């Protein structure tokens, strides 16, 4: 049912009717897998930050994630480095800078807010994609995009101002930082769509390595000089970092890049809106219970916004009418 619904999505960059059906299904499956993994990463990342020294090694954890993924991608694409041209390199660096900004702001925000709020508020990127596509790809948003943006903003405001669960005095700051990170993720999605024709593996490798370098430099300059004696790298923290590096960074970034290559940016954003749902599920599995009525209302509004915003209801109606005609 979900795949059928997604097939009617209003494609921003590519018409699904021109995409081979097999690749379309494969692309959606990859995106769903990435969404599940990312949904699990919020709780794991929050626990890891607490284990390593009271949250003082944000960029160290991010550097480890990207370095692990960067080594894997480099090994896979090593023979193709000779094909790397200046254009692809510069585009990969741009994507890496955006990725660095998105992960940095999101991870800092996670220190102040809950995993479920961090997951759901991040999803405003789905609403922002049409507007950034207007700015960057010159594709004007529809009326429903503007309506959806208003509904989404209402949900965000309810969560930010009424959804406090007493996780700390800076919880609202964490919520708004998460909103900012959603802007960076929207930028990344639009630029990935823009660079669709580039060599995906080389582009992804340069992107990840750029983020790894930026995170490593930031950690070396700002974290280790002040907190190096606080680092507590235990076995449990180690395997969680490996999970974040291999699954939540390497696999998930690969799945997003190739999944989006075989479908539209808009369909991608519909599928990835389930990241917040999985974030809540994993939060409950891991023993967090930080939900209240206001948060649930806000989550519901954001989720409703994503479905309304990204679904081509006119296309669904036409398909239904066509099927009725064929049955006659």
pLDDT band at 10 (very low <50, low <70, confident <90, very high): very low
For residue 311, give Cα distances in angstroms to 103, 170, 182: 28, 36, 20
Query: Is 199 within the bounds of a domain?
Result: yes
In tens, the pLDDT along 255-310 reads: 877 887 777 666 676 677 778 778 878 887 877 666 778 778 888 887 787 677 66
Instruction: Report whether 174 contacts 110 (CB < 8 A).
Output: yes
Instruction: Report whether 70 contacts 254 (CB < 8 A).
Output: no
Cα 265 from Cα 248, distance rounded (Å): 20
Query: Is 10 within the bounds of a domain?
Result: no
Domains of the chain: total: 1
User: What's the pLDDT at 175?
Assistant: 86
Query: Which residue matches tokens 């049912």?
Result: 1
- Which domain does 59 fall in, by range? 28-327
In tens, the pLDDT along 109-154 reads: 988 888 888 887 887 887 788 888 888 888 787 777 777 777 877 8
User: What's the pLDDT at 166?
Assistant: 57
Query: Is 218 within the bounds of a domain?
Result: yes
Of 52 and 98, more confident: 98
Query: Is 5 within the bounds of a domain?
Result: no
Query: Is 308 within the bounds of a domain?
Result: yes
Query: Is 16 within the bounds of a domain?
Result: no
For residue 219, give Cα distances in angstroms to 98, 233, 243: 18, 15, 20
In tens, the pLDDT along 68-114 reads: 999 999 998 888 888 888 999 999 999 999 999 999 999 999 888 88
Name which of 24-38, 129-143, 162-176, 190-204 the model is least confident about. 162-176
Query: Is 8 within the bounds of a domain?
Result: no
Query: Is 132 within the bounds of a domain?
Result: yes
Tokens read off for 72 = 């894997």
In tens, the pLDDT along 191-243 reads: 987 887 777 788 889 999 999 999 999 999 999 888 778 888 889 999 999 99
Q: Tell me: pLDDT of 189 over 60.
A: yes
User: What's the pLDDT at 19?
Assistant: 42
Q: Tell me: pLDDT of 7 over 50.
A: no
Closest CA to 243 of 61, 106, 96, 116: 61
pLDDT band at 16 (very low <50, low <70, confident <90, very high): very low
């Amino acid at each position: 049912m979900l795949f059928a619904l997604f097939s009617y999505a209003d494609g921003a960059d590519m018409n699904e009717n021109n995409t081979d059906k097999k690749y379309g299904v494969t692309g959606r499956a990859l995106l769903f897998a990435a969404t599940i993994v990312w949904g699990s990463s919020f709780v794991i990342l929050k626990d890891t930050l607490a284990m390593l020294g009271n949250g003082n090694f944000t960029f160290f954890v991010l550097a480890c994630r990207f370095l692990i993924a960067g080594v894997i991608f480099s090994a896979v694409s090593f023979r193709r480095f000779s094909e790397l041209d200046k254009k692809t390199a510069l585009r990969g660096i741009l994507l890496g800078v955006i990725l660095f900004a998105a992960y940095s702001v999101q991870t800092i925000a996670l220190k102040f807010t809950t995993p479920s709020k961090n997951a759901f508020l991040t999803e405003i990127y789905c609403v922002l994609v049409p507007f950034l596509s207007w700015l960057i790809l010159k594709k004007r948003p529809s009326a429903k995009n503007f309506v959806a943006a208003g509904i989404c903003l209402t949900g965000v405001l309810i969560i930010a101002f009424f959804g406090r669960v007493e996780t700390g005095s800076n919880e609202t700051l964490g919520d708004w930082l998460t909103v900012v990170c959603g802007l960076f993720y929207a930028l990344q999605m639009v630029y990935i769509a823009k660079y669709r024709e580039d060599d995906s593996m080389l582009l992804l490798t340069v992107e990840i390595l750029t983020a790894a370098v930026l995170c490593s430099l930031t950690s070396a300059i700002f974290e280790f000089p002040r907190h190096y004696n606080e680092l507590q790298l235990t076995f449990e923290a180690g395997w969680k970092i490996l999970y974040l590096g291999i699954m939540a960074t390497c696999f998930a970034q690969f799945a997003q890049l190739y999944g989006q290559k075989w479908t539209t940016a808009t369909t991608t954003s519909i599928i990835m809106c389930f990241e917040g749902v999985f974030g809540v599920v994993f939060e409950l599995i891991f023993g967090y219970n930080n939900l209240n009525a206001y948060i649930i209302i806000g989550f519901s509004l954001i989720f409703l916004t994503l479905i309304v915003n990204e679904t081509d209801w006119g296309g669904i109606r036409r398909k239904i009418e066509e099927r009725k005609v064929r049955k006659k």
